[in-house]
Structure 1
């Protein structure tokens, strides 16, 4: 006597829903803490963190987009916003 396929499927679905709910709660808490202490969103912090782990805080846009799980256009908009706030400086690459 074991679990039926439908039971396993529902168990997996329930697990994923629970995980997604927990992720949402954790991200919300992180968002509030970052906003309160640094005036940053989670995604802004993620970009700055990815840059901070590079020599000279330099990274091309495509690898930055991959490191932050953002689309290239979303990464560009975010980098532009962070640059306007004076939190980073965009430098044109001679190889581009």
Structure 2
């Protein structure tokens, strides 16, 4: 038997869907306008910049970017064309590849980061109280931890 959402749950669900979609669109617009890259590319560059030796196995990068292997491969190909990433064969498994952030890729990320952070602040954190930020973090962590299992 289906447990339908009650009125409060339905309202919260629809607000969550709308808010996340609008936030993602705002971040994508800002990055396209100011840095010439979509939000997806930015998140790939961030993941690589935080990885040891700025390198990550493609399968791990896909998981970190919350992307399918094929979508990630397409994005990495575009980033390779820009000279921001290069692929290297995995020495232990010749079928696998690593994505490696290049110096130009790191520079593009460093140039894009201030505008991106400002947009995140403007669109999210500046409109919330510190208590709301704590609640948002708790809620998101709960959902994320449940879904990542």
* Structure with the larger strand share: 2
TM-score, scaled relative to structure 1: 0.86
CA distance in 2, matches of 1:51, 1:28: 23
CA distance in 2, matches of 1:81, 1:95: 26
Determine which structure has more spread, i.e. the larger CA radius of gyration.
1
Unmatched runs of 5 consecutive residues or more in structure 2: 94-149
CA distance in 2, matches of 1:89, 1:52: 13
Kindly report structure 1 stretches of 4+ aligned residues shifted beyond 6 Å: none
1:10 Cα deviation after fit: 2.6
CA distance in 2, matches of 1:50, 1:73: 18
Unmatched runs of 5 consecutive residues or more in structure 1: none
TM-score, scaled relative to structure 2: 0.57
CA distance in 1, matches of 2:74, 2:92: 22
Partner of 1:87: 84
1:29 Cα deviation after fit: 1.0
